[in-house]
Structure 1
C-alpha cells in the first residue's frame, strides 16, 4: 500500500469549506464523503478530510482549539512563485486570510501563509531545487 497523509480538519460550514478547497485546486473524492465529511484530494498521497464539528467531536474527546490559536501549519509545494501568490489571493477571496505571517523570499525559495475560513494555517512554497546546495551523501 502506498503511504499517504490524510489531514482531518474540523469545519463550521462543510459546503463553504469544500468550495474554498476546490478553489485552491483540491479535488473532491466522493467515495469517502458524506453529509458530514468531504474528502479533498491534493495529490495521490495527500488528502484533507473536512469534518463538520459534530462529526469531529464524534471521533475525539479533545476540545477544539480556541479561535485564533495555532498548533500546526500545513505546507504545500507548488510549481512557481506565481502559484504561491495565486493560492494566497484565492484564499483571501474565498473567506480565508492571506499573509497571516510575513512573506518569505529567499531568492531560491518563496513562501506565503494563509488561513482557511476556520483558521487552519497553510503555507504554500516554491523552491528552486537546482539552486539548493548539494547535501552530503553518506553510505
Structure 2
C-alpha cells in the first residue's frame, strides 16, 4: 500500500475536494487532525493539519501554495477521463497547474488542490507503456509536443 502524507490548512475543504474527484474517506483513520483519502485499495492520501503533520518531522513544513515538494501522478483510462477529473477538480475549488501536455503517446494535465498540492493525471497509450515511447513514436509518429527526454 502507498500512503502519501500531505498538509492542509482546511481539513473539511480537502475532504470535499478529494471526494469531488471520486475518492472516498476512510472514517476509521479520519478525525479533526487527519483525513484518510482512499483512491483505491492500495493508494491513500493522509491529509494532515499542519500541527498534526509537524509531529512527524523536525523540518519546517513547506507551504504548497509557494513551494513544490512533491507531485503525485495518477493514470487514467483515456484522455477524456484526464480532462473530466481535472475539470471536476477545478469545479471543486482546485486550479489547473499549467497547460495540458500532449505527446501523442501520453497526455498530461496538472491540478493544484485548494492548498496548492500538485496532483497530476495522465493517460498513456498501451503500446508506449509496454514498448517505450520511442517504439510508439516510430510506429505512429510524434504528437503535438516532442517526446520528453529526446
Give structure 2 stretches of 5+ with no counterpart: 133-150
The aligned counterpart of 1:112 is: 109
How far off is 1:36 after superposition? Answer: 1.1
What is the 5 A alignment of 1:1-139?
4-66=1-63, 67-98=65-96, 100-132=97-129, 134=131
Q: RMSD of the TM alignment (CA)?
A: 1.5
Alpha-carbon deviation of 1:59? 2.1
**What SS class does the counterpart of residue 85 from structure 1 fall into?**
helix
Q: Point out 4+ residue stretches in structure 1 off by more than 2 angstroms.
A: 130-135
Distance in 1 (alpha carbons) for counterparts of 2:131 and 2:6: 36
What is the CA distance between 1:73 and its match in structure 2? 0.7
Q: CA deviation at 1:18?
A: 0.3
CA distance in 2, matches of 1:15, 1:121: 18
Shift of 1:134: 2.4
Q: What's the TM-score once normalised by structure 1's chain length?
A: 0.87
Distance across 2 between alignment mates of 1:131 and 1:57: 41
For residues 85 and 58 of structure 1, do their structure 2 counterparts lie closer, same or farther at Cα, with a shift above 3 Å needed?
same
Aligned-residue offset at 1:101: 2.5
TM-score by length of 2: 0.81
Measured in 2, the distance between the counterparts of 1:131 and 1:5 equals 25
Q: Which has the higher helix share?
A: 2
Give CA deviations for 1:22-75 in whole Å, capped at 9, x if unaligned: 011111111111121110111111100011111112222221214321122100
